[in-house]
Copies of this chain bind each other. A is one copy, B any other.
Amino acid sequence: MVVSELSEQDVNRIFRALADPTRRDIVRRTLVAAISVSQLADCYQMSFAAVQKHVAVLEDARLVTKESRGRERMVRGNLDRIRQAQRLLDRFEDMWRARTDRLDNLLAKSDPAPSAL
Q: Which residues of A are at the interface with B, using a C-beta cutoff of 8 A?
A: 8, 11-16, 18-21, 24, 27-28, 31-33, 77, 79, 82-83, 85-86, 89-90, 92-93, 95-96, 98-99
Point out the residue from B19, B28, B92 that lies within 8 Å of A12, measured CB to CB. Answer: B19
Copies in the complex: 2
* A28 to B93 alpha-carbon distance, docked (Å): 9
Point out the residue from B11, B79, B85 that lies within 8 Å of A24, measured CB to CB. Answer: B11
Please classify the interface of chain A as helix (H, G, I), strand (E, B), loop, or mixed, using the class held by over half of its residues.
helix
Point out the residue from B14, B27, B93, B98 that lies within 8 Å of A82, measured CB to CB. Answer: B93
Q: Which 5 A-B pairs have the closest CB atoms?
A: A15-B19, A16-B19, A15-B18, A31-B96, A31-B95
Once the chains bind, are A20 and B31 in contact (CB under 8 Å)? no
* A67 to B27 alpha-carbon distance, docked (Å): 37
